[in-house]
A and B are shown apart, each in its own frame.
Chain A
Amino acid sequence: MPIPPTDPAPDPAAPPAVAVAGIWKSFAAPVLRGVTAEFRPGEIHALLGMNGAGKSTLMKIIAGALQPERGVLQVNGQPARFRHPREALAAGIAMVYQELDLAPHLTVAANLLLGAEPGRGWGRLDAAAERRAARDLLDECGIALDPARRLRDLRTGQRQLVAIAKGFHRARRLLILDEPTSALNAAEVRTLFQLLERLRRGGLAIIYISHRFEELAQIACRVTVLRNGDIVFSAAAGGEAANGERGAAHASAGRYTPAGFDWPAIAAAMVGEKVTVTRHAAAPAADAPVRYELRGAALRGHFSGLDLAIRAGEAVGLAGIAGDGRAALAECIFGLRRFDAGEARLDGRPALARGSTEAVRQGLGFIPEDRAQALCPQLPATANATLATVPAFASWWRLRRRREAAIAADSLAASGVEDRFWRLPSRSLSGGTQQKLLFARWLAQPSRLLILNEPTRGVDIRARRDIHQQIAARLRAGAAVLVVSSDLEELMQLCHRVLVLRRGRVAQELAGDAITREAMLLAAAPAEKAAGSADAGGQP
């Protein structure tokens, strides 16, 4: 599985491709607090950190999308200042956004050269030159793809390779990749890593953001951990770095083996000192009835053989990393997608929802990851709150407005939406208020099982606390709650049990005080297994 051990380690004497020193940036609060780091040519530099650690802010600064308040940026040893991503691109720095900047209807060649098409004057395209250039680029990257194929006919993994080749075409100094493997299968990951290894050997600097320890163990030359805007850990492959001694040792051996990181130490560095959180709602009594039960659930390409049982008044969390099937599972339970296999029971009765209409009728509620998906922007808060419960106050021939107003008022007030917002269109409300509005919807339409996907993403601290109290109140009222979240602290605060998913299977079940951030991190991306495979691959 790992890439065969390969040749030259990065030259420690060469100036870093890009270096940052003392970078400060704050929005409401400081996000980066004097970050100093080097990204060397021929090095795959893994960047880790929990949500809000400052990774994406740092990357945006390097890619020219944000300007730091203090600190310097150096490109190839020279100070640089990017006021716009264009300037970073001109300096050879590109960030690869998953598939966002690809046009599905155009060919591979057209995508690779989009905006830089070879022309023949007068706006005429030189199709032959375009094909040639695309072919050369693909060959250089070692990607076996026909440049004449259309993007939409390719698999996700192939599209990802095209996106990287496009980034490489534009920027030959530093390439930034953010979770590039989340949508890829194992074979596609292997191809991607071969491509990255090839680019690395060509002298490209690569910043690789990912939380998959086992993948990092295969390709990372250096690991840096950000926490609360500070770099709290940095090591080169095989041990202590910074001075490049280890790198030299590898180089003298003629081989470079990206292995031997201390993964438990990295996980500990990511989460920081142990926090004790108070769980918002007491665990349900031992004899509380099982509210929702799932057996042998499977969805091809996402998860298989999944069992799940949630008792009344219990909150069960789903932890993992992007692409592990959590979101798909939540959507299947709510009937937005169909399970390939499995059976579900709600309060003991068969309850495999074939559609969201049936799910709502059975007493399921759902709050999606992206709240814009669930809100009608032009409708007032009241109509949004009652959207799932219209049949309760409207028949075919009559809509009882007073009854609706009463339902809306009750649920909005109980969900902590201030009454001055009730008549406003939901698009003019803040993210936190919008999120509370969705909770109001599932109070107006009482839900026996509430499925929450990232319930506090992008809301401020006060709204987050309010929402957590909302969830606790539902639990006390006897609802079962399923929480999908990448905010590990949130899972600790809310959940009585946490299932850690890995590649579509339950890797570990944690309960009570065993729910710690380290435990969830390591279970989602087990270091032991990663270290093991890397060791095996590291043998000459």
Chain B
Amino acid sequence: MSHWWKRLLPYTSLALLFVVLAISSPNFLRVENLGAVLRQATVVTIIAVGMTLVMIAGEIDLSVGSLAALSGVYTAFALQHWTSTAAGIAVGIGVGALLGLINGLLTTRFLVPSFIATLGTMGIFRGWALLVTHGVPVTNIPAGFGALSDGALFGVLPYPVLALAIAAAAGYYLLDHTRLGRYCYALGSNRSACVQSGIPVRRYVLLIFVVAGAFTGLAGAVETARLISGQPTAGIGLELDAIAAVVIGGGTLTGGEGSILGTIAGSFVMALIHNGTDLLGISPFVQEIIIGAVIVAVVGLDELRRLRLRQSEAAL
């Protein structure tokens, strides 16, 4: 019983939050407001999808904010060069995957724990982005690329939502319907069990970082569209939002647990808190406090539940 209760926790909190905001703020349910929430949440949610894979596998990626910025910068360069939206997105994803490869190689070949490796690349990627742009945003990109942020497919489905949906679907499929996804859970659950089952552990950890990098690269491209420029200072602090989304969605820092749907719910819980406190006129300083408290409360509740579960299992 406690299982489904736990699995539903992120969604029930999301629904509850939605209802409370709908009642307490007349502006909340307006289409423009909900659209703004979606657009704001897109970048961090796409990143959080990649982070979900990494964290389920028992690793962490602190470099995602810088990685998104660097991919976004190269997306802008590509757009200046080719003026094609598709090329921009492809370069964003490709650069992201390459940078993810660097993270993965540091972790699996040089055996630097991913926390440290990505702490390092967080600085390296940020400096790299500042260096190639001389610290100035890359502008002069085709205005058409901005449509990726404020346009909509057939005039109904906003492109950022489409990007988010595609990323989420890809993440969900990868995690639940491929070998990689199965190994994500197994690697995070027990590394030595994977070794003893003959799984090429290092190859898969590497691959997981590459995939997460690709997701983050896509997020970087979307961010470039949102800002209609490649900003070398974009995405500062995003890694913490992404980790928080995974954790609120049922993931753990030790790995083996988590889901894409949960992460998306977790990401929107945070987006709604931001939006709701704005609408209700609560100071942004208080917002930070609320979000911090929510993270601690959700994880604390989960640990309590886990403790009780262990006790009841021990009693079996």
Which of chain A's residues has its CB closest to B178's CB? A399
- Report A443-460 CB contacts with B as 1/0, cut-off 8 Å: 001000000000000000
| A387 with B179, Cβ < 8 A, contacts A377-B189, A378-B257, A428-B316 known | no
- Which residues from 171 to 198 on chain B have a C-beta closer than 8 Å to any C-beta of chain A? 176-183, 185-186, 189-190, 192-198
- Which residues from 344 to 376 on chain A have a C-beta closer than 8 Å to any C-beta of chain B? 356-361, 366, 368, 372-376
Q: Determine the distance from Cα of A445 to Cα of B176 in the docked complex, in whole angstroms.
A: 22
How far in angstroms is the closest Cβ of chain B from A509? 29
Number of interface residues of A (CB under 8 A): 35
Are B185 and A379 neighbours in the complex by a CB distance under 8 Å?
A: yes
Q: Determine the distance from Cα of A361 to Cα of B197 in the docked complex, in whole angstroms.
A: 10
Are B179 and A396 neighbours in the complex by a CB distance under 8 Å?
A: yes
Pair count A-B, CB < 8 A: 88
Are B196 and A356 neighbours in the complex by a CB distance under 8 Å?
A: yes
- Contact partner of B197 (CB less than 8 A), chosen from A387, A397, A428, is A387
- The winner among A334, A375, A379 for most chain B CB atoms within 10 A is A379
Interface residues on B, range: 20 to 34
Are B181 and A356 neighbours in the complex by a CB distance under 8 Å?
A: no
- Contact partner of A375 (CB less than 8 A), chosen from B178, B183, B193, is B193
**B104 touches A (CB below 8 Å):** no
- Report A28-61 CB contacts with B as 1/0, cut-off 8 Å: 0000000000000000000000000000000000
Q: Determine the distance from Cα of A375 to Cα of B197 in the docked complex, in whole angstroms.
A: 10
Q: Determine the distance from Cα of A276 to Cα of B196 in the docked complex, in whole angstroms.
A: 36
- Report B182-216 CB contacts with A as 1/0, cut-off 8 Å: 11011001101111111110000000000000000
- Report A434-447 CB contacts with B as 1/0, cut-off 8 Å: 00000001000100
**B313 touches A (CB below 8 Å):** yes
Which A residues are CB-close (under 8 A) to B182?
383, 390, 394, 399
Which A residues are CB-close (under 8 A) to B217?
none
Which A residues are CB-close (under 8 A) to B256?
376-379
Q: Determine the distance from Cα of A15 to Cα of B48 in the docked complex, in whole angstroms.
A: 70
| A377 with B190, Cβ < 8 A, contacts A394-B178, A428-B316 known | yes
Which A residues are CB-close (under 8 A) to B189?
376-379
- Report A373-402 CB contacts with B as 1/0, cut-off 8 Å: 111111100011001101100111111010
Which A residues are CB-close (under 8 A) to B178?
394-399
Are B179 and A391 neighbours in the complex by a CB distance under 8 Å?
A: yes
Q: Determine the distance from Cα of A390 to Cα of B189 in the docked complex, in whole angstroms.
A: 16
**A427 touches B (CB below 8 Å):** yes
**A336 touches B (CB below 8 Å):** yes
- Which residues from 458 to 494 on chain A have a C-beta closer than 8 Å to any C-beta of chain B? none
Are B200 and A373 neighbours in the complex by a CB distance under 8 Å?
A: no
Which A residues are CB-close (under 8 A) to B177?
398-399, 401
Which B residues are CB-close (under 8 A) to A384?
193
- The winner among A359, A366, A373, A387 for most chain B CB atoms within 10 A is A387
Are B316 and A374 neighbours in the complex by a CB distance under 8 Å?
A: no
- Which residues from 237 to 272 on chain B have a C-beta closer than 8 Å to any C-beta of chain A? 256-257
Are B181 and A376 neighbours in the complex by a CB distance under 8 Å?
A: no
Which A residues are CB-close (under 8 A) to B193?
373-376, 384, 387
Which B residues are CB-close (under 8 A) to A399?
176-179, 181-182
How far in angstroms is the closest Cβ of chain B from A293? 21
Are A387 and B186 neighbours in the complex by a CB distance under 8 Å?
A: yes
Which of chain B's residues has its CB closest to A331's CB? B196
Are A387 and B185 neighbours in the complex by a CB distance under 8 Å?
A: no
Are A360 and B197 neighbours in the complex by a CB distance under 8 Å?
A: yes
Are A387 and B199 neighbours in the complex by a CB distance under 8 Å?
A: yes
Q: List 17 A-B contacts (CB under 8 A).
A: A336-B195, A356-B195, A356-B198, A366-B196, A373-B192, A376-B185, A376-B193, A377-B189, A378-B256, A387-B186, A388-B198, A391-B179, A394-B179, A396-B178, A399-B177, A399-B179, A427-B313
| 3 A-B pairs with least C-beta separation | A360-B198, A376-B189, A388-B197
